[in-house]
Copies of this chain bind each other. A is one copy, B any other.
């Protein structure tokens, strides 16, 4: 994996760059649509590539391990071939899902024991196992196994958890060194900073993670319920301790304005289920603000879903038609809203990159955020 920085915004820490993987290039800052179980919900692969213009998508180790399982994925030749996606792919480690979805989880030095949320079957994830599973999945970017403490956490717990995450990271790095990619393309491991909302822990974690000299670095444990200002503070602190020449990935963030703020702090990569999950519930992010498309206000509004972005679906369908689809519980409503929201996120990071290159990101961002947050 290669990362090249091409521009820096003079009035913020925003950067424009390009990641090169075995499955193609990614312009940063980038948003990564989430394809939890091998499918970006409601969206097909053609739509993902041609309409949304996704450059990299995300898969979830926990979900893919349970269904379809590594056996099928290996037989298929990895997730890229299984799902028919030939662009870059990142898998998270499953740490977050084990703690948020699985039942009866037990944590110890070795790893995490848990029961499947699907059938109650028992499983053990260790740092080594999680690397092995991600080798089977074949993602271009592999995440280290971590524990993500909830917000708020006690200092003592946050520290103990962070230290465990660091020890697990050392084991992940070792496992990566001992094993080979299965499908001929290289795989890069990204470690994850933890430390909850404690500055000294975040600093220590950032320094430890940076010292591992991986191809890229991630910031975890944010956007888990803390105030937005606290997220920005922690993110800024982490970015300032991370090497400039490596991509920085802020996990699970967030709203359009969260993304613009964190880009200004030096983040290069984002993922979030919000555009698809909220889309399925009729919440649209648009170039004029936030829309609840089920609202009666849109009943006879025959303007496009979003005329402000260059997306076929957003231009083609009207607000009145999309509202009708949601009111009538038509599947197509979820498809259109998901494609629109993802297209909008992609539009936003593309525009952000253009402004960074142009050198006026900070002022553009300040104006945009006012528009993006409007409730229409």
Contact = CB atoms under 8 A, between A and B. Distances in A.
A336 B302 contact: no
Give chain A's interface secondary structure class.
helix
B331 A37 contact: no
A324 B46 contact: no
A44 B76 contact: no
Q: Which 7 A-B residue pairs are closest in the complex by CB-CB distance? A: A42-B331, A39-B332, A68-B324, A37-B328, A39-B330, A67-B328, A75-B300
A312 B50 CA distance: 14
A38 B321 contact: yes
Contact of A39 (B37, B63, B313, B325): B325
Interface string A56-69: 00000001000110
A157 interface: no
A207 interface: no
Contacts of A331: 39, 41-42, 331, 334-335
Number of identical protomers: 2
Contact of A332 (B44, B324, B327): B44
A72 B37 contact: no
A34 to B, nearest CB: 12
Q: Indicate the member of A37, A321, A332 with the most B CB atoms within 10 Å.
A: A332
Contacts of A37: 324, 328, 330
A54 to B, nearest CB: 14
A41 B82 contact: no
A309 to B, nearest CB: 17
A324 B299 CA distance: 37
Interface of A: 37-46, 63, 67-68, 71-72, 75-76, 82-84, 299-300, 302, 312-313, 316-318, 320-321, 324-325, 327-328, 330-336
Contact of A72 (B38, B42, B75, B299): B299
Nearest to A51: B46
A41 B88 CA distance: 31
Contacts of A76: 300, 302, 318, 320-321
A332 B41 contact: yes
A75 B302 contact: yes
A330 B41 contact: yes
Contacts of A45: 316
A302 B81 CA distance: 10
A282 to B, nearest CB: 15
Nearest to A83: B321
Contacts of A40: 332
Nearest to A118: B328
Contacts of A300: 71-72, 75-76
Contact of A44 (B313, B320, B324, B327): B313
A324 B336 CA distance: 23
A318 B85 CA distance: 13
